[in-house]
Structure 1
């Protein structure tokens, strides 16, 4: 019985439908393709039917209904029709569980090609359907893994990429990143060591890489990008000086895309985000910024969860500058913890004041909007990175303050602390702009071995002029 007449069919037919044994699943014709609604799109983001257009399903043959799904949000391509499974029901998934596992979809892309198409959450006006996304996380350090975990828990399809064999084997064997985020099982996250799997199976690509390597990985990604891909940059740093432009990593990525004839949007994501807390489900606010505010709005709406609240903005330069600059202040605050393990909160407050004031002046000269300093990317991120015992940059500063050399301190850490590189690059940029930065200069003097910890801290505190 056709669904359009009664809305029901026999249990035996439903079973044949789910198993791909219904003859209609193999009978897609050119006339059927021409009958497809113009709003239909391939669900490369893993999104569900727009239920306002549910009646359009009934105008298609059952074979076409299988994957003619209306996409809301970013990242879509023209309709392609594959007979992989039944129409997603807006009310239950009773017909689809047999399609999820590796038995039916042995390759990564096939396993990503079908998932529960939506989740139901309770809003003020009752149940709401929320579309799922297909997200590729490039780089499985603690931050990339924590985000992947949060999005998997929220029902999204997540594919992680790593170059580290140890991480890959840990994820494949134990569903856990024991090197960077031990204690969190992520059985729903797929893992690969092939970048082409990310571009072929995902539409939102999250670049969770250190600033020193992100551009080389982007160069490898670019040949495989489709126009529908959206890139999210998590790196908090400045591009090498030879890159030119504004000096931001996101700007360097955009320049590379333009040189390759690509126009994919680049979104900057930053804010007060300690990775283990995000994985534990502690409520966290972060900023997503893009020159095209509509893209930032869609990403914020799409990737926010009940505990990860993303706020949209249109100042990616300011967001990225503050995301890098705050690491220098965290390094300085860590020095106090090393000098005074019994407590030095008064001194840390003075350093935060000096560093934040200098940052407002310097970053506005570099192109940041003034309001960004007082949002999640500015004072929010600076506060948590400077005070949290889990902050990598504060921890590195603490080791320096306790008397270890820079090389010894870095050798004791298995994760990258961006503050050292950020300090040197901000000082170089300030000299080129002719801006006095006594706070940054004193910190670089310590890192170069020209100043003692006590002298550097005294100079940084004294740099505040009110």
Structure 2
């Protein structure tokens, strides 16, 4: 069944999800606040700042007017940075009220809101009136946009509290190169998606210092233990962290140079300042804000997250990467499964 879908956010991942939906035969409207980007997408069918040497479906139409993009749609997919999700959701709620429209809400954002420590589904639930939303779902998993552009076989998860809603989102995206599984553990999927970016920062930093596969495996394994520890404290299913949105997403984000969090960590390991790293990237690095939120949450809830704490200290100029590694390696011995 063809659906009308608005995708809010035309970065690498938002534009690629929009392209999948368009390739699947849906009526897709991709919104960006950047008029030059909208013009490029509509006239050249490219998005050169985010995905090089790729031509988008000619059926994908970009808009700079959010109301025009949302008018009459069945689904709205948010793929905007976590820290602006609330402000965008407020605007969407105003538009839906004016249009008197009721839609499925989906998001593909990977972060935790600063200060409130809210997951993105919680932010969306707070800002979009239940009168105007049928459901809230998340789509997440090991999915670098650059690989999806090449039709590399990609498997992800969509989660919602109601599995029927997740199955609806699954039906929109699934095709011969993009396979979607369902899950009803939206807490676990969102926390896994957000916190793996912290570990990716560390992985990039270690690589820049010349550390090899043993170190990478150690970081990812113990990092996943921290992600699971925090996630289960909120009621997440521990098995979710062994799945696509947990270990799967962690593997690709912590090993791929296409990951902006990995690239940011690499520059930090080279000794560059955080300000310079942010300037060099020119795109949002979700792991930076997520590290702060996770560090503060761990303190608040009394959860041991030494790797997260070490990366937080590096980001805040309290220690160098080498000193952070040294402190981690000289912690008191403990049992692996504690």
Deviation at 1:462, TM superposition (A): 5.7
Q: Could you tell me the TM-score, scaled by structure 2's length?
A: 0.93
Q: Tell me, yes or no, if the aligned pair for 2:185 and 2:236 is still in contact at 8 Å.
A: yes
Q: 1:404 to 1:155 in 2, by over 3 A?
A: same
Q: Is the helix fraction higher in 1 or 2? A: 2
CA distance in 2 between partners of 1:394 and 1:223 (Å): 37
Partner residue of 1:166 out of 24, 36, 50: 36
Q: Tell me, yes or no, if the aligned pair for 1:159 and 1:198 is still in contact at 8 Å.
A: yes
**Structure 1 residues 344-363: aligned runs within 5 Å:** 344-363=212-231
Give the corresponding residue for 1:200.
71
Q: 1:227 to 1:317 in 2, by over 3 A?
A: farther
Give the corresponding residue for 2:103.
229
Structure 1: gaps of 5 or more residues? 1-130
Partner residue of 1:179 out of 42, 49, 71: 49
State the SS of the aligned residue for 1:430.
helix
Residue by residue over 1:311-355, the C-alpha shift from the partner in whole angstroms, topping out at 9 and shown as x without a partner, is: 111111111000001001111110111111xx5222111111221
CA distance in 1 between partners of 2:328 and 2:92 (Å): 41
The question of 1:209 aligning with 2:77 is answered no
CA distance in 2 between partners of 1:454 and 1:195 (Å): 46
State the SS of the aligned residue for 2:82.
coil
Deviation at 1:191, TM superposition (A): 1.0
Give the corresponding residue for 1:328.
198
Q: 1:185 to 1:314 in 2, by over 3 A?
A: same
Q: What is the RMSD of the two structures over their aligned residues, measured on CA atoms?
A: 1.7
The question of 1:441 aligning with 2:309 is answered yes
Q: Tell me, yes or no, if the aligned pair for 1:134 and 1:201 is still in contact at 8 Å.
A: yes
CA distance in 2 between partners of 1:153 and 1:184 (Å): 14
Deviation at 1:460, TM superposition (A): 4.1
Q: Tell me, yes or no, if the aligned pair for 1:272 and 1:284 is still in contact at 8 Å.
A: yes
CA distance in 1 between partners of 2:193 and 2:153 (Å): 19
Residue by residue over 1:360-414, the C-alpha shift from the partner in whole angstroms, topping out at 9 and shown as x without a partner, is: 1121112211111011100000011000111110110001001111111111112
CA distance in 2 between partners of 1:172 and 1:227 (Å): 26
CA distance in 1 between partners of 2:220 and 2:6 (Å): 36
Q: 1:413 to 1:184 in 2, by over 3 A?
A: same
Q: Could you tell me the TM-score, scaled by structure 1's length?
A: 0.68
Deviation at 1:154, TM superposition (A): 2.6
State the SS of the aligned residue for 1:415.
coil
Deviation at 1:465, TM superposition (A): 4.4
State the SS of the aligned residue for 2:25.
coil
Partner residue of 2:269 out of 394, 401, 408: 401
CA distance in 2 between partners of 1:213 and 1:166 (Å): 21
Give the corresponding residue for 1:451.
319
Q: Tell me, yes or no, if the aligned pair for 1:141 and 1:180 is still in contact at 8 Å.
A: yes
State the SS of the aligned residue for 1:191.
strand
CA distance in 2 between partners of 1:232 and 1:462 (Å): 43
Structure 2: gaps of 5 or more residues? none
Partner residue of 1:424 out of 289, 292, 295: 292
CA distance in 2 between partners of 1:231 and 1:298 (Å): 11
The higher radius of gyration belongs to 1
Give the corresponding residue for 2:119.
248
State the SS of the aligned residue for 2:33.
coil
Residue by residue over 1:103-158, the C-alpha shift from the partner in whole angstroms, topping out at 9 and shown as x without a partner, is: xxxxxxxxxxxxxxxxxxxxxxxxxxxx2222211110000111122222232221
Q: 1:197 to 1:411 in 2, by over 3 A?
A: same
Give the corresponding residue for 1:276.
146
**Structure 1 residues 265-414: aligned runs within 5 Å:** 265-340=135-210, 344-414=212-282
Give the corresponding residue for 1:20.
none
CA distance in 2 between partners of 1:387 and 1:323 (Å): 15
CA distance in 1 between partners of 2:258 and 2:240 (Å): 24
CA distance in 1 between partners of 2:81 and 2:65 (Å): 19
Q: Tell me, yes or no, if the aligned pair for 1:438 and 1:459 is still in contact at 8 Å.
A: no
CA distance in 2 between partners of 1:275 and 1:308 (Å): 12
Deviation at 1:210, TM superposition (A): 0.6
Q: Tell me, yes or no, if the aligned pair for 2:298 and 2:305 is still in contact at 8 Å.
A: yes
Q: How many residues align?
A: 330
Q: 1:194 to 1:461 in 2, by over 3 A?
A: farther
Deviation at 1:357, TM superposition (A): 1.4
State the SS of the aligned residue for 1:264.
strand
Deviation at 1:227, TM superposition (A): 5.1
CA distance in 1 between partners of 2:225 and 2:288 (Å): 20
Q: 1:372 to 1:227 in 2, by over 3 A?
A: farther
